[in-house]
Amino acid sequence: MHELSFGTWLIHISSVTEWIFAIFVIYKISTYKKYNLFYWLSIAMVPNLIGAMCAITYHIYDNQEALYGLVTLQGIFTFIGNSTLALAAFTIFKKTETYE
């Protein structure tokens, strides 16, 4: 694990931990009837988490060429995650617009 500095590892691990925590908090918020649409937001966050895990796994094994496919997977899951987050946010916006 010598490819990245301690500070970079700290940021990687804390970001993933924070993302996992955010998923659980948003899911918990979605259990309230008024915010049930937030369930889909918490689900939409999962592909980005998978992408982050791909990146961390690649770095854990010192960026070996044999694992370069993880870089591609990370990009794919980031694209999917950003798309699902945008869709979830738009859905929440449109549905809450009708309540006003």
Between CA 6 and CA 10 the distance in angstroms is 6
Residue 55 lies in a domain: yes
- pLDDT tens string 16-29: 999 999 999 999 99
Between CA 71 and CA 98 the distance in angstroms is 41
Contact 36, 30 (CB under 8 A): yes
Residue 29 lies in a domain: yes
Residue 76 lies in a domain: yes
- pLDDT tens string 66-96: 999 999 999 999 999 999 999 999 999 998 8
Residue 54 belongs to what domain range?
6-97
Please state the φ and ψ torsions of residue 18, each to the nearest 5 degrees: -65, -40
Name the more confident of 15 and 1. Answer: 15
Residue 1 lies in a domain: no
- pLDDT over 70 at 31, yes or no: yes
CA pseudo-torsion sign 19, 25, 31, 36: negative
Residue 50 lies in a domain: yes
Residue 29 CB contacts under 8 Å (≥ 6 apart), including other chains: 35, 38
Number of domains into which the chain is organized: 1
